């Protein structure tokens, strides 16, 4: 099956939050994205609510349930007790756990399983008992996939930031792409499905999709939102789908 494109709504929410006004509409643009062919919506509700607000979550859940029942809701974040309660209240299809400090501007590294496995294991068990699919945010490190499996995850999300950041250096892009590919192969060998996300663009997504043809999902926010300012949300979603062959 082709990978799912999950549109990350954080940048839209951050633009909205510059004013005490209801636009741009997170729900409205989420609807446009799903109408254009996206198969899911992603949010990262940080504790300071600097982009997605907790009050956005019921509307996104309702949008999917009422209008796009085949789409998926993915909530990502650091698994504090407050975050886990948000997840349990709003019932996403997927929970992506990221090792973010609240002060970080964005996710910029995967889990350190050597030091954090004991912390993650009961959290993953709790989420799976609740019926959620669990994905762990990981660096491009094939040797770490056994630990991700042992923790109990269903999927890993490859942190593609270094690959996306190599847009001006083709040799580095090739190197980073191969590291991602090897990590995906190791994940599949352990029975883990593979997601990917961070700094993916229309330009660099085709090579990633070719190197990891069985990607389960890509979550794209910043570049997709930036392109939407130029092309509109619907056309931008279609461009990303076309670029990857999905």
Per the annotation, the verdict on 198 as an active-site residue is yes
**Contact present, 53 and 108 (Cβ < 8 Å):** no
Q: Residue 37 CB: number of other CB atoms within 10 A? A: 14
Question: Choosing from 51, 90, 198, 217, which is the catalytic residue?
Answer: 198
Per the annotation, the verdict on 109 as an active-site residue is no
d(CA 7, CA 58): 17
Question: Choosing from 51, 76, 90, 176, which is the catalytic residue?
Answer: 76
Expressed in percent and rounded to 5, the helix, strand and coil fractions of the chain are: 50, 15, 35
φ and ψ of 74, to 5 deg: -120, 120
| Angle 213-38-61 from CA coordinates, rounded to 5° | 125
Instruction: Classify each residue of 190-210 as buried b or exposed e, where b means 16 or more C-beta atoms within 10 Å of its C-beta.
Output: eebbbbbbbbbbbebbebbbe
Name which of 81, 111, 113, 116 is nearest 96 in CA terms. Answer: 111
Name which of 78, 30, 19, 97 is nearest 57 in CA terms. Answer: 30
Element holding 196 (H helix, E strand): strand 193-197
Per the annotation, the verdict on 90 as an active-site residue is no
Catalytic residues: 44, 76, 198
């Amino acid at each position: 099956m082709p990978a799912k494109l999950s549109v990350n709504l954080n940048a839209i929410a951050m633009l909205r939050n510059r004013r005490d006004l209801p636009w741009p509409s997170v729900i409205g643009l989420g609807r446009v994205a799903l109408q254009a062919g996206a198969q899911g919506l992603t949010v990262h509700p940080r504790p300071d609510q600097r982009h997605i607000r907790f009050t956005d979550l019921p509307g996104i859940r309702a949008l999917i349930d009422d209008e796009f029942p085949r789409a998926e809701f993915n909530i990502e974040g650091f698994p504090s007790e407050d975050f886990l309660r948000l997840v349990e209240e709003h019932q996403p299809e997927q929970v992506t756990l990221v090792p973010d400090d609240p002060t970080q501007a964005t996710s910029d590294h995967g889990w350190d399983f050597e030091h954090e496995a004991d912390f993650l294991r009961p959290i993953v068990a709790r989420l799976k008992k609740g019926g959620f699919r669990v994905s762990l945010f990981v660096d491009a490190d094939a040797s770490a996939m056994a630990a991700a499996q042992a923790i109990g995850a269903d999927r890993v999300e490859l942190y593609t930031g270094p690959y996306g950041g190599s847009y001006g250096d083709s040799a580095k892009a090739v190197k980073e792409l191969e590291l991602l590919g090897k990590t995906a192969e190791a994940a599949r060998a352990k029975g883990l499905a593979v997601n990917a996300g961070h700094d993916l663009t229309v330009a660099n997504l085709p090579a990633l999709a070719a190197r990891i043809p069985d990607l389960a999902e890509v979550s794209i926010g910043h570049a997709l939102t930036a392109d939407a300012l130029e092309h509109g949300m619907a056309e931008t979603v279609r461009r990303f789908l076309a670029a990857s062959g999905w």
